[in-house]
Structure 1
Amino acid sequence: MIRRNTIQCALVLEAVNKLRCHATADEIYDVLVQEHPTISRGTVYRNLQRLCEMGEIRKREIPGGADRFDHLCSNHYHARCVKCGCVFDVDMEYIADIEKFIKDTHGFEFTGHDIVFKGICPECKSKT
């Protein structure tokens, strides 16, 4: 099936690229609805999924939090603030073959990995 580019899809991609903050679907919707009050939450969710499938953005599953959408599609690691929940990129080389160091695989066939470090962001740290 050929999918055509829609204005809504372009708006969602533009919002993700503009935010550059690992936004949740709800945060992306909140930004879009300010300028486009007729856009529905469902439209935003569908287009986020579509953009992920097209490889334009990446969905980042964050343990203990909502999925985030990343404008960077390259493999990289993240840190999540345990106080405010914000997600940040980590400046660290991606270890592509880290799975080879797993000793007990329990029969798993590993297809990749995501690592999210935990900590306290500078803004939250300054409040304490």
Structure 2
Amino acid sequence: MSKPVILCVDDEPDILNTLKMQLKNEFKDNYFYELAESADEALDLIEDFQPETEVIVVVSDWLMPGIKGDELFMIVHKKYPQIIKVMLTGQADEAAVQRAFKEADLYCCLYKPWQSKDLIETIKSGLAKLL
């Protein structure tokens, strides 16, 4: 069986690379770490992986060109409700965050600049829900 995937979505490549580095430092080779620079790219990746390789966590920015993070999470939740969804944002609209909690089962919202330990603990506690 293939390793599960943690997918990070942000329109800033530097943010994506930092997320991947922090996750890989903690979780080593237990997961595949995929990066997407837009919600559309993220949705394509999720479709490509399922069902052979399970996407178990999506960490996404809110403010991105095209589809925003809350909308991405609502789309993902409709099709794959078991995916843990974490918003990581510097400028989320509070109404959008609340909508994501209510309509997309958002697990947590972290704010940029984030602390690596907060991100790791959030993902660990989210993964514990899956077990």
Give the TM-score taking structure 2 as reference length: 0.26
Higher strand share: 2
- Structure exhibiting the larger radius of gyration computed from Cα positions: 1
Looking at secondary structure, tell me which structure has more helix per residue: 2
